[in-house]
Amino acid sequence: MGVVPLGHLNPPAHTQTTDHVYLLLPGWAEEISPSVNVVAPATGIVVKLASHTSDHTGAAFTDWQLEISVCDGGTIRFGHVSTISDDLLALTEATPTSCETYGYVGFMTEECMWMDGISFPLSEGDLIGTAGGLDTPNTALDFWAYDWDSELHFAIDPSAQPESILRSQCALDWFVDDLRTELYSQRMERGILADEETGCGKVFQDVVGTAKGFWYSVAPIEGKWLNHLALVDDNARSDHQAVSVAALVADPGYWIFQKRSTGTVNRDFAQVTAGSGIHCYNTFTADSNGPQGTTDRFLIEVVDDDTLRIERQGGTCGASLTFSNPYEYSRFEK
């Protein structure tokens, strides 16, 4: 068991920091989890159901999301629910409100959503369905919280984000004190216990005029998410950051390093500004999933407030810091 804080990375679908926590299921470390029941944590009303049928390089499976109104202006959502109760399943006999297919080659998902007329009451402890199971790759339960009456989170390009993400909250903070304390004590990422300073993690991290935050490829590329680049904090170690790449610059992956407050090597993204020159990033942690080989580096330069250049190269940061064929990214999604 464990709880992954906000800000998880898993490119390309989660090149940007996730807006939900993950409740890790027994067997997550072995990547196979027996089925467990999911029950309502509070009394509320189901206001949205969605099925997701995913085809990942020929392996197809279907799971569910449901959103529950738990108070005025407040909803929670569960994702990667493997099965839903018979009562909830009966609601999907109606025509879906909408269906769409999205993704990229080798990773396509069809989402069908039921919202019209959905108003199904749940009491605390009622069975919602199951999570995990030997016939699904899912070993965690996604868990969101939204405050629809709150101010929107700051993003340099809010139009690139659904409103729900801009209103996301830490779901752990909505529990009573003893459960919240217990859940916080289980915070981890990739088996690494989260330090106190990371708290529940962070979603939006844009810092105007610096390298830190979300970026979007200037060059067009076909496929959802593949234009994303994120230069963000690690969600378990407050003194680490990550280069998170969807495509173009490198194959999908994240490269984690210990940040520095001086110099041009592994400098805190929030301190890399326009006119400060080319910065180099290397010596990545063992839990990074992007590096290939022992020498791997990124060169990054903030050209102006809205433009960044980045290139992945072989070699260390002790060598000449010169671009060969960099990619250009913008703060604004085209």
In whole angstroms, give the CA distance from residue 94 to residue 90: 8
Q: How many domains does the chain have?
A: 2
Q: Are residues 261 and 294 in the same domain?
A: yes
- On average, the pLDDT of the chain sits at 96
Q: Note down the domain range covering 181.
A: 2-198
Instruction: Give the mean pLDDT of 187-195.
Output: 97
Residue 290's pLDDT is 86
Residues 140 and 241 in one domain: no
The one-character DSSP state at 171 is G
What are the tens digits of pLDDT across the range 52-64? 999 877 778 899 9
Handedness of CA 116, 117, 120, 121 (dihedral sign): positive
Does the predicted model carry a pTM greater than 0.75? Answer: yes
113 within 8 A of 102, measured Cβ to Cβ? no
Q: Which two tokens stand for residue 213?
A: 């935050």
Residues 179 and 114 in one domain: yes
State which of 198, 225, 249 marks the end of a domain: 198
* % of the chain exceeding 90 in pLDDT: 92
Using one digit for the tens of pLDDT, what is the confidence trace for 198-225?
999 999 999 999 999 999 999 999 999 9
Using a 10 angstrom Cβ sphere, with 0-12 exposed, 13-18 middle and 19 or more buried, the burial of residue 76 is buried
Is the pLDDT at 292 greater than 80? The verdict is no
CA distances to 42, 67, 300 from 269, in Å: 40, 35, 10
Handedness of CA 138, 246, 217, 268 (dihedral sign): positive
What average pLDDT does this structure show over 75-97?
97
Residue-level pLDDT at 70: 98
Same domain, 220 and 168: no
Distance CA 163, CA 150 (A): 11
